[in-house]
Amino acid sequence: MRILVVYWHPEPQSFNGAMFRTACETLVGVGHEVKTSNLHEMHFDPVSSRKNFTMIKDPNYLKQQIEEMHATETNGFSAEIETEVQKIEWCDMMIWQFPLWWFGLPAVLKGWVDRVFAMGRIYNFEHIYETGVFRGKRALLSLTTGGPEEAYRKEGFNGDITAILRPIQRGMLQFAGFDVLAPQIVYAPVRMMEEQRKQHLTDYAVRLQRISDESPIDVGAH
């Protein structure tokens, strides 16, 4: 398979960094082709503006989706956006590696989605969800939390992790047509002993070796 790993964490020595490197090394090791978007290393700018585009539809009023539709028709995306879109178009599977921040994606990764998931190119009026542009591709969230696993059960003080991930798994990935695999979640790596963290890295590597055999999950459509 062709696999894109998108990753953001401000510290390369973080546990997220270790998960990212584990994924890349494991997937290459079993013969997959891997491309990466290491957003921190790339200094990816998450702020949308006219710099998303090389072409202009309306110079007087910036309406992002109108400009995105125009850029789709005129090949008018800036190089940094075009490069990222082409990586998604290239891949069979996409992995996002990130720490859960405020029950969601950290801002740089969210900004990557805001800028790269462009109307016209990534979705349009006819192509969303089951008819999405990227149907047939798979996606996997790999994340860490600060809170412990019991806090993310239905009766836990944070509530069900599936509900927390729904805006990402349903609102972004399935919206664009991806089939979503079960998320890889390492709860509270900070609170673990070194050996437990290493075991999680090993477990992730073992899972990734057989990732092409997995079936998508139900992320809760309604």
Q: Which residues form the interface with ligand FAD (CB under 6 A)?
A: 9, 11, 13-16, 18, 99-103, 144-147, 189-190, 194, 197-198, 201
CA dist 80 → 39, 42, 52, 202, 212 (Å): 11, 10, 8, 34, 29
- CB closer to ligand FAD out of 33 and 41: 41
Cα–Cα nearest to 148, from 185, 188, 186, 183: 188
Nearest distance from C-beta of residue 121 to ligand FAD, angstroms:
30
State how beta strands 138-144 and 179-180 pair.
parallel
- CB closer to ligand FAD out of 62 and 185: 185
Nearest distance from C-beta of residue 65 to ligand FAD, angstroms:
29
Nearest distance from C-beta of residue 109 to ligand FAD, angstroms:
13
Tokens of 11: 């510290």
- CB closer to ligand FAD out of 106 and 120: 106
**138 SS3 class:** strand
- CB closer to ligand FAD out of 79 and 190: 190
- Pinpoint the alpha helices (H) of the chain: 15-29, 64-74, 79-90, 107-116, 161-168, 194-209
> 4 has which bridge partners?
35, 94
- CB closer to ligand FAD out of 194 and 218: 194
CA dist 157 → 153, 163, 215 (Å): 8, 13, 30
Tokens of 71: 């850029």
Orientation of helix 15-29 relative to helix 194-209, angle to 10°: 30
- CB closer to ligand FAD out of 190 and 221: 190
- Length of the chain in residues, anyone? 222
